[in-house]
Amino acid sequence: MIYLAAVIVLATLVAMASGKIPAVLALATGLAVAGLTGVATPSELFSGLSNGGVITVAAMLVIAKGIVQTGVVTRVTWALLSSVTTARQALRRLMVPVGVGSSLMNTTPIVAMLVPASKELEQTRGIPARELLLPIAHVTTLAGSVTLIGTSSNLLIAGIAGTSGVDVSMLSFAPVALPVALVGWAVIYVTAPLMLRGKAATTAPPKDWRVEIPVSSRALAQGRLPADIGVASTQEYELETIERWGEDVEPTTAIEAGDILVFAATHSGVTALWGSPHFGLSPRRLFEVSVSTGEHGTLRDLEQDEDVRVIAAQTTTAFRDSPVVPGQTCFVAGRSARVLEDHAAVALWQDAASRAPQPRKTWIAVSILVAVIIAASFGLAPVELVSMSGAVLMVLTRVITPKSAVRALDWNVLFILAGSVGLGAIVVSSGLADVIAEGIRYLSAGNILLVVIVFVATTAIMTNLVTNAATAAILTPVGLGIAAELSLDPVLILALIGTCISFTFLNPFSHQSNLMVMGPGGYSFATFTRFGIPLYLASIVVACTVGYVLLGT
């Protein structure tokens, strides 16, 4: 049975590492084969569906969605980058706040917000985005491993450990992960400007979309100059005029409630403006629609339903004067897709962006996140229960809608996590974990330093070949077994594994943040490897040193 389990696990990992088969499919196939051959029971294979770590990841995705929905990440990013002149200066300003944020919530929305900010710096100040995006992606990855809720792999480790009676707290990973993160940041700061030098883009897509953004009475932009909040001119859009009581005023004038800001924008600039938290837009979604044949009148006539408002179109004249053209594409805001389904003038439509940010909910969302962190840190309740309560509060307080909460769930990630738990169950129930532990014990000969080196090397290599979830699911039970046999602190062993899982610096496909910056930064596979090697080696050395010091005392 052990040999069969080894074949199933190895085949699943190879399929996942190849990239030719979706990780979810590879895991599902492996679990099915294991179940049909009796390697593990169905309850063991599907235990991931009730695993506390998987439940916590799902809840934290909803909480992160609520935080992002307030626009606070965008506002903080602008405040930090509004006066930078070099990539190194931008790194200095971003490292600590981005690192703190990454340790408290999912890193994906943070990186997503920094991509357009970096591209804007490239266009407006000549700071190449390639010198900033990959370093920041690695900063978030390192910082996320410091806390329990900072990364899905830590939560998965805690969930698996909990079934063995080992409690992992909010800062259990910090003794190992924090020194590694600090040294890693220093390496990034020194090497990024030297190894990622590039030229800023000299061409920009045409700004052929007219965007009319109304300013509400609750807008943060009131009384402020467009340049002060970063909406005067960027790579994606440029403020052309401000309509006030039917008259045009200079775009350098302070913004007032009731104004209509008129921009010339690129296609992506339309959604960027919609995502700005400064205008106090109503909580509607943005849709890209195609006008039906036989329609006449102006673009404003499309607003026959009060729940629909035209936001952008490819025209040079005001929407009230621009004739509607059958087949024309434009952006409209609506409360739901149902409004468009019943709209006679809309032939086709598709989602363009989620609800406009609601800044007035910022303190509610931040308070919920802080409450979750405090409750989890002091063990007031199980972390999965605390995080789930926070997610529910995000909906009950109307920071996000129930539909937005559902959309926040990344089902691919959740299924990979749940499937990886099942893969770990195969390793344990078949006895394969004992065999692996025996091999590690033989290689280390009971020497703590060698134990540390073996775990660090195995984890660091494996995490760059397969998903971090699979690495966590397989090595966590092995680590617990070694800790019990050698009378080592199991939490420190798990902290070592969790920290090294974040060493996804060599392969762009080993972490979602890497993939997010690959295109915008213009990176190649070779660039990832070349830039990642110094960081990878430094992180391994620090992890081995810290692990040996902690476990040897």
The Cα–Cα gap between 129 and 152 comes to 27
| DSSP secondary structure string for all residues of 237-288 | EEEEEEEETTEEE-TTSPP-TT-EEEEEE-HHHHHHHHT-SSS---S-EEEE
Residue 432: which pLDDT band, with cuts at 50, 70 and 90? Answer: confident
Residue 147: which pLDDT band, with cuts at 50, 70 and 90? Answer: very high
Question: 264, 122, 130, 90: which is closest to 203 by C-alpha?
Answer: 122
Ranges of H-type helices in 378-431: 383-396, 402-408, 411-429
CA angle centred on 103, ends 97 and 106, rounded to 5°: 105
The Cα–Cα gap between 345 and 146 comes to 52
How many alpha carbons lie under 13 Å from residue 111 in its C-beta half-sphere? 25
Q: What is the pLDDT of residues 257-299, one digit of tens each?
A: 999 999 999 988 899 899 889 998 888 889 999 988 777 788 8
Taking a C-beta distance cutoff of 8 angstroms, is the pair 440, 535 a contact? no
β partners of residue 34:
none
How many alpha carbons lie under 13 Å from residue 224 in its C-beta half-sphere? 14
How many alpha carbons lie under 13 Å from residue 7 in its C-beta half-sphere? 8
Q: What is the pLDDT of residues 507-517, one digit of tens each?
A: 887 778 888 88
What average pLDDT does this structure show over 374-393? Answer: 92
For a pLDDT cut of 90, what percent of the chain falls above it?
Answer: 42
Q: What is the pLDDT of residues 44-66, one digit of tens each?
A: 899 888 888 899 999 999 999 99
For a pLDDT cut of 70, what percent of the chain falls above it?
Answer: 98
Pseudo-torsion of CA 188, 189, 192, 194, nearest 10°?
Answer: -130
The Cα–Cα gap between 129 and 370 comes to 32
Please report the pLDDT score of residue 231 as a whole number. Answer: 87
Amino acid at 31: L
The Cα–Cα gap between 60 and 55 comes to 9
Q: What is the pLDDT of residues 325-370, one digit of tens each?
A: 888 899 999 888 888 887 878 888 888 888 888 888 899 999 999 9
**CA separation, residue 317 to residues 5, 231, 262, 322, 478 (Å):** 68, 21, 10, 6, 67
Please report the pLDDT score of residue 304 as a whole number. Answer: 67
The Cα–Cα gap between 203 and 426 comes to 53
**Looking at the predicted structure, is the pLDDT value of residue 452 above 80?**
yes
Q: What is the pLDDT of residues 243-259, one digit of tens each?
A: 998 889 999 899 999 99
Residue 457: which pLDDT band, with cuts at 50, 70 and 90? Answer: very high
**Looking at the predicted structure, is the pLDDT value of residue 548 above 90?**
yes
- Which run of H or of E encompasses 468? helix 468-486
Residue boundaries of the structural domains of the chain:
1-203+362-553, 209-359
Please report the pLDDT score of residue 203 as a whole number. Answer: 59
The Cα–Cα gap between 461 and 449 comes to 18
The Cα–Cα gap between 79 and 83 comes to 8
The Cα–Cα gap between 178 and 503 comes to 13
**Looking at the predicted structure, is the pLDDT value of residue 163 above 90?**
no
Any idea which architecture 209-359 has in CATH?
Answer: 2-Layer Sandwich (3.30)
**Looking at the predicted structure, is the pLDDT value of residue 78 above 70?**
yes
Q: What is the pLDDT of residues 384-428, one digit of tens each?
A: 999 999 999 999 999 998 988 998 888 888 898 899 999 988 988
In the block, tokens 């990973």 appear at 173
In the block, tokens 């213009």 appear at 522
- Which run of H or of E encompasses 334? strand 329-334
Any idea which of 131-145, 186-200, 411-425 has the lowest mean pLDDT?
Answer: 186-200
Non-local CB neighbours of 263 within 8 Å, separated by 6+ positions: 210, 211, 212, 213, 237, 238, 239, 240, 269, 273
Residue 201: which pLDDT band, with cuts at 50, 70 and 90? Answer: low
The Cα–Cα gap between 235 and 127 comes to 13
**Looking at the predicted structure, is the pLDDT value of residue 18 above 70?**
yes
Average pLDDT along the chain: 88
β partners of residue 323:
298
**Looking at the predicted structure, is the pLDDT value of residue 199 above 70?**
no
**Looking at the predicted structure, is the pLDDT value of residue 448 above 70?**
yes
**CA separation, residue 31 to residues 15, 41, 499 (Å):** 13, 10, 27
Q: Do strands 260-265 and 209-214 pair parallel, antiparallel, or not at all (unpaired)?
A: antiparallel
Residue 3: which pLDDT band, with cuts at 50, 70 and 90? Answer: confident
**Looking at the predicted structure, is the pLDDT value of residue 200 above 60?**
no
The Cα–Cα gap between 527 and 508 comes to 9
Taking a C-beta distance cutoff of 8 angstroms, is the pair 104, 147 a contact? yes
